[in-house]
Amino acid sequence: MSSLSALREALKQSPDNLPLLQLFAQACLEDLALDEARSTYDAMLSLNPTHAEAKLGIARVLYLGGQLSEALVRTETFLRDYPGHASAWILLSRLHWADEQRESAREAYEKAREVTGFVPDSGLEKDLYGHGGVPDRPTAVPVSSTGEPMSSGFFGTEDAEEKSFARYLEKANINFASVGGMDVVKEEIRMKILYPLKNPELFKAYGKKIGGGVLMYGPPGCGKTLLSKATAGEIEANFMAIGLHQILDLYLGNSEKNLHQIFELARAHAPTVLFFDEVDALAADRTDMKKSAGRTLINQFLSEMDGTNSNNEGVLILGATNAPWHIDPAFRRPGRFDRVLFVPPPDEEARASVIEILAKNKPVDRLDAKALARKTKDFSGADLKSVFDQAIELSLAKAMKEGRVVPLTMDELIRVAKDTKPSTKAWFDSAKNYALYSNQGGFYNDVLSFLGIVK
């Protein structure tokens, strides 16, 4: 469950909890769920009409939604009541900058600097003051993962307080041998991804570029992230796993900059497997989006995948999604996510491997991983973990009563598994409808094949 979903569930139990409402509204802003953020701030004001953060939050929602005039009026009104609010001055600076009132933007930012609690905004400073940043403010040269100074090709002239994504770059320490079962998916990855990367001269002879994009889709918790990292390990490439929260920024334009920096780092360290989890949130269908901020980020993502201003040679872009039907069709054209892999729930061999990993260092009495795997058809890796967690809670309750370690038994594990419904079934219920009635170009043929349906 995502943090936003968890907060939403918590609010059902405590709908008038102001601190919880504020956390939820902030999470909505970070996910660009602007309508939900606005309604939450409105709810806060109905409970406390003088709530300062709710008033400023509405101004932020308006700013992100492109309603600059109303956002400006609300921010100026807010600052008349709260002149010592540093982040409000920063928002005012951004609003003036968006309106091309550069001098007013600098004046507002300078007032923010004079207020207690001021936190520098490096991206805005670069816009306001140019590459030199704020006068008298020391800057630092970012370094790569090898310790070498980075050129402007990595992060431009950003200072040390700017986001650095080098920490997400790593050498993959696993390969396909580390992933139990899933032989069919592995062979598809070899044919569509690994062989071209291992034989670049052969492919170049036919005018084929090395790299590109691959979209992996399937039920949640079925190992898409693990397979992506193992793919990087198979070709001894660098690996970068990027989530939506690492890209999104509260202020307009910064999300696009973050995305560009991530691609630049991957290009500089090619060969690199660049993995985007929950890519449907980053590549959503633009026809469903009314807000300009999300559309701009999607356009930036398309531009980066195309390598419009840079060379993506040696950069393999992997996207994982549980909801491929929400992805903008533009991402599936040739040169982008033009190769598609269906990642089904782990097969019996893979489940046995996952069970052995979950049982490691736990007091399990006579584990029979293969027997438990046979009893857990259609279970995802996350479902198997849930089985172990529930069984551990039962044993732990006995252990506390008896004052000794009580081992987990196979009978308990099988009984818990019997009472646990695989989460993948709900996903297949949705996917089946798309596969039957919205299967342009045979996109969901693998789903139909897995379900044993011939259309």
Count Cβ atoms below 10 Å from residue 236 Cβ, excluding itself: 10
| 10 dihedral zone (left: phi>0; alpha: psi -120 to 50; beta) | alpha
- Which residue intervals of 199-253 are DSSP H helices? 200-205, 224-234, 244-247
CATH number for position 318? 3.40.50.300
Whole-angstrom distance, CA of residue 197 vs CA of residue 3 = 37
Q: Domain for residue 147, yes or no?
A: no
Bridge-partner residues for 327, per DSSP? 284
**The tokens 């979209």 sit on which residue?**
215
Residue 330: closest CA among 285, 290, 297, 387: 285
Q: Would you place residue 274 in the very low, low, confident or very high pLDDT band (cuts 50, 70, 90)?
A: very high
Inform me whether the pLDDT recorded for 307 exceeds 80: no
Whole-angstrom distance, CA of residue 455 vs CA of residue 438 = 12
Query: Which of the two residues, 199 and 44, has the higher pLDDT score?
Result: 44
pTM: 0.61
Inform me whether the pLDDT recorded for 454 exceeds 80: no
Q: Domain for residue 387, yes or no?
A: yes
- Domain identity same for 114 and 218: no
Q: What is the pLDDT of residue 221?
A: 83
Inform me whether the pLDDT recorded for 109 exceeds 50: yes
Numbers of helices and strands, H then E, in the chain: 23, 8
Q: Domain for residue 365, yes or no?
A: yes
**Per mean pLDDT, which of 79-93, 112-126, 186-200 is the most reliable?**
79-93
Round to the nearest angstrom and report the end-to-end CA distance of the chain: 34
- Which residue intervals of 248-368 are DSSP H helices? 254-268, 279-282, 292-306, 348-359
The number of C-alpha atoms within 13 Å of 369 and in the hemisphere containing its C-beta is 15
Mean per-residue pLDDT, 420-443: 87
Whole-angstrom distance, CA of residue 251 vs CA of residue 110 = 18
Structure tokens at 125: 């400073």
Domain count, the chain: 3
CATH number for position 395? 1.10.8.60
- Domain identity same for 377 and 405: yes
Q: Domain for residue 157, yes or no?
A: no
Inform me whether the pLDDT recorded for 134 exceeds 70: no
- Which residue intervals of 307-423 are DSSP H helices? 348-359, 369-374, 381-402, 410-419
- Domain identity same for 225 and 336: yes
Bridge-partner residues for 284, per DSSP? 327
Q: Domain for residue 172, yes or no?
A: no
151-168: per-residue pLDDT in tens? 333 333 343 333 468 778
Whole-angstrom distance, CA of residue 83 vs CA of residue 114 = 11
- Domain identity same for 124 and 71: yes
Domain that holds residue 78: 3-132
- Domain identity same for 192 and 77: no
- Domain identity same for 93 and 225: no
- Domain identity same for 304 and 410: no
Do residues 96 and 105 make contact, with C-beta atoms less than 8 angstroms apart?
A: yes
Q: Which of the listed residues 319, 342, 365 is the one where a domain comes to its end?
A: 342
- Domain identity same for 44 and 119: yes
- Domain identity same for 303 and 370: no
Residues 6+ apart with CB under 8 A from 113: 134
Structure tokens at 326: 């929400």
Q: Which helix (H) or strand (E) holds 408?
A: strand 408-409
- Domain identity same for 97 and 224: no
Whole-angstrom distance, CA of residue 384 vs CA of residue 221 = 10
